[in-house]
Structure 1
Amino acid sequence: MAGVLVLLCCLSAAAAELRLYTEDYRPFSYLEEGRPSGMAVAVVEELIRRTGEVARIELVPWTRGYHQVRQQADTALFSTVRTPAREPLFHWVGPIARGHTRFYSLKESGVRVANLDDVRQLGTLAVPKQWYSYELLREQQMENLYGVPTPQDMLRMFRHGRVKLLLANNLTLDGMLAEQGMHASQLQEQFDLMPNDSYIAFSRQTDLERVARWQRALDEMRRDGSLERIYRQWFPSADDEALAELLRVD
């Protein structure tokens, strides 16, 4: 009887549904006709198929997803930028995307900045509180840093001239601007704050073999070209060097 109970427990654990949280963050993830869509969603859906997982993807506010994955087993959050501060908080599968977080200004403003000391001289800098870049800039003791609830709040402030600089991932810039009726041609690139790699972040309570199975499936997507196909579908002008690095399997 004890052996039967152990077997039942093992089967139950193996069948535990995996809950995958993501936010509205085009083009990585968003709702289209009521269903999750986007580049990162396409990657995750293919990983679900390859691993044979029982799983569902939910679009939720970032803070809710972050809290759930910190507290519950068999959960994951994507796309999550991997930083030293976050490293011990999750198990990581990835990267699934590679970009740069960059400062931008309006071309018509004539603003030029080359470093963070220049940024300090330009008044309020609005950055979403949940972003890794907010964490980094707070560590740099940016006295003009102003945390806002969402990227949309930051964009509105930028569009209305309440802030002179925009901080954004180059991969998501076009989607963010489109929501405000803007286009990248209106902007002037300034300097890169940091490179960023986006991952699927699993809760620390999730079984390590499950996490390893997902990493193996992602590595296979690199080798067979499917990750590149998805990536180029969503980012047709992707930087070849960055993409080659993303697709490399150690």
Structure 2
Amino acid sequence: MHAIKIYVGILLALCAATTAGAQTLTAYTEEWAPYNFQDGRDVKGIATDLLREACKTARVNCKVEMVPWARGYKIVRNTPDTVLFTTARKPEREDHFLWVGPILSRSTWVFARPHPADAAGTRELNKLRFGVVRGEAAYQDLLNAGVAPASMLEDSSNASILRLLLSGMVDAMVDTEVAMAWALRSSSLDASTVVKHSNLADEGAYFYAFNLKSNPDVVGRLQAAIDKLKRQGRVDALVRRYTQP
């Protein structure tokens, strides 16, 4: 009996030491279904679930917090051992973060309220008033496409921008096909509520963006975990879970 008590004591001490020394990572994300979104008290989505699985594989404690995109971006730029997702890896952001991924390829589209010219995408982008998420990559993409800053109305989330579009306060917005289909379906709106005007950007991919002073060992372990999960088909499985009816 005495030997058993000693053995149990050693196990408890080892567990306590492991927990005390475990790396804790705080992840910040926005409301952008089906990649990341609030479901009751939980945060779910393709990228959220993948991050949690990667953290489990890499033996990293992960805490996920939902915040407006611009706030999360600022926090992660200034706070070690934090990560921002789902983040487009763009040339102007390259030196701002440590990158883990890719998670998914990136292809964004301009969606507009129905208009006779939009089926062929003949209305010039610089003639449209856009709603954009504050701080998102699409803002620079639109600038590169010739849209003036004065023609862009910023808000905190894609859901807010969609409401602006449906109310007529803006003419168009930028999103992925997957995210727009989810947004319309979850709002019980027909697919014809908006039209796909034109392809805006196909460059790069979506990643997890880590603060530059984050623990390099943790970043490396998480990259290895993501690579392993992708080889096992987990990304494709998560996409199917969240996109197929």
Could you say which TM-score interval applies, normalised by the shorter chain? Answer: 0.7 to 0.9
| Number of the residue aligned with 1:219 | 227
Residue 73 of structure 1, aligned match among 75, 80, 90 = 80
Give the superposed CA RMSD: 2.5
Q: Matched residue pairs, number?
A: 224
SS at match of 2:178: coil
Q: Which amino acid aligns with 2:126?
A: R
**What are the equivalent positions in structure 2 for 1:48-67 lying under 5 Å apart?**
48-67=55-74
Q: Is the 8 A contact 1:96 1:199 kept in 2?
A: yes
- 2:138 corresponds to 1:137: no
Residue 90 of structure 1, aligned match among 80, 97, 117 = 97
Q: Is the 8 A contact 2:22 2:61 kept in 1?
A: yes
- 2:64 corresponds to 1:47: no
**What are the equivalent positions in structure 2 for 1:1-250 lying under 5 Å apart?**
15-107=22-114, 109-112=115-118, 114=121, 118-122=124-128, 124-143=129-148, 145-150=151-156, 151-178=158-185, 181-195=188-202, 197-236=205-244
1:32 CA drift (Å): 1.5
Bigger Rg over Cα: 2
Q: Which amino acid aligns with 2:229?
A: M
Q: Output the TM-score relative to the length of structure 2.
A: 0.81
Residues 180, 134 of structure 1: alpha-carbon distance in 2 compared, 3 angstrom cutoff: farther
Residues 41, 119 of structure 1: alpha-carbon distance in 2 compared, 3 angstrom cutoff: same
Q: Which amino acid aligns with 1:192?
A: N
Q: Which amino acid aligns with 2:165?
A: F
- For 1:111 and 1:163, the matched residues in 2 are separated by 16
Between 85-94 and 130-139, report the one with greater CA deviation.
130-139
Q: Which amino acid aligns with 1:138?
A: L
1:138 CA drift (Å): 2.7
Q: Is the 8 A contact 1:137 1:145 kept in 2?
A: no
